[in-house]
Homo-oligomer: A and B are copies of this chain.
């Protein structure tokens, strides 16, 4: 079952899908050349929006938390890709410590941890799970809804090594996005940490990611012969925001106004009659906190207290001072009347599956990944690397191929972004 793409404006996207199909050998060759220079992140998930006239990434997560939502038929694909990732990043690792988010009550998330641990075990690693939660002071086994179990153990630091009681791992895999900053116990550790600590939201900025994506999207679009706008959401950025004391409102209103203007120009160019909209979100942060949909500068002026509160902090109470002002991309995929948004999962540089977030209570211009949201995951029923030229460009395997291509482009952008952050850190430590 695949969501129906409900839009009369399929012209440009059909054209985009057709171009992607036609350029498939060129695209794959180009990616191969990129991976000669660039190291893919250990794992990545990318939220896409398909507006019919535009297909673009809106969020790139380096600590993906929905492996339990993937099609179980793709498990072998995950295991092979994980084997490749281990060969590339930590070939000498035998014992691996997995550090998840500090949730114990979100059973969906815990199932993700269980599936991830299972993938890594089937790839041949000895995996144990360590937690940053201070209240877990001894091995604690949690029951999962599906009948499985998960044992969380307190971390133990010895010199420059992190492990568990009786377990000294060669490598550490983070499934924790470090929104609350880098914990002391993980600082200055000699083991390989994947993704690196600077991939956490303590360091990452969405604007830096989308700048890297913009550059790659231009190069890619030239290769394929399309307008880069068809795959790239425009954006701006404001720093020094303080929603609580209403600081930075002017900057925000001005940028919103400019961006709405730019989107309107593009909509006119392509004969799109929908109303342009913008997503304002924390430049550092995840879990859809600190996010709002706006349609003009008035929407960011005179925010009421509730809205300001909502915007002012993200996960783990971190304050929002920088925001990304991103072109909103409508999602025109729907299933039984509910809005659907594809999420593509990658391990190493391979697409290993994905799912749709299907959400009945939300509009086509709203973020579908938000606090307390209840979505129904609908696993992709086929892999993303099986395009079929005998079918129409918008047939399911070909649509999934296009999703995989755009998601890989965002993942490549993340790898460029991480390299840049690494260089900045090296530069800082050299000059200090």
Contact = CB atoms under 8 A, between A and B. Distances in A.
Interface of A: 24-29, 31-33, 35-36, 73-77, 79-81, 83-84, 86-87, 91-92, 94, 122-126, 350, 382-383, 385-387
How many copies altogether? 2
Contacts of A92: 33
Given A91-B36, A350-B83, A76 B386 contact: yes
A144 to B, nearest CB: 14
A187 to B, nearest CB: 28
Given A32-B91, A73-B73, A94-B29, A24 B80 contact: no
A385 to B, nearest CB: 5
B79 A81 contact: no
A79 B123 CA distance: 19
A77 B83 CA distance: 13
A80 B36 CA distance: 17
B124 A28 contact: yes
A122 B91 contact: no
Given A25-B125, A75-B386, A76-B386, 6 more contacts: A25-B94, A27-B124, A28-B125, A29-B124, A76-B385, A80-B80
Of the listed residues A76, A123, A387, the one surrounded by the most CB atoms of chain B closer than 10 A to its CB is A76
A122 B84 contact: no
A26 B125 CA distance: 9
Given A73-B73, A74-B76, A94-B29, A122 B386 contact: yes
A305 to B, nearest CB: 51
B385 A122 contact: yes
Contact of A383 (B76, B83, B124, B382): B76
Contacts of A387: 122
Nearest to A81: B80
12 contacts: A27-B124, A32-B87, A33-B91, A73-B73, A76-B383, A80-B80, A80-B81, A80-B385, A83-B350, A122-B386, A122-B387, A123-B385
A76 B75 contact: no
Nearest to A389: B121
B25 A126 contact: yes
A42 to B, nearest CB: 16
A186 B86 CA distance: 38
Given A122-B386, A122-B387, A28 B83 contact: yes
A51 B99 CA distance: 44
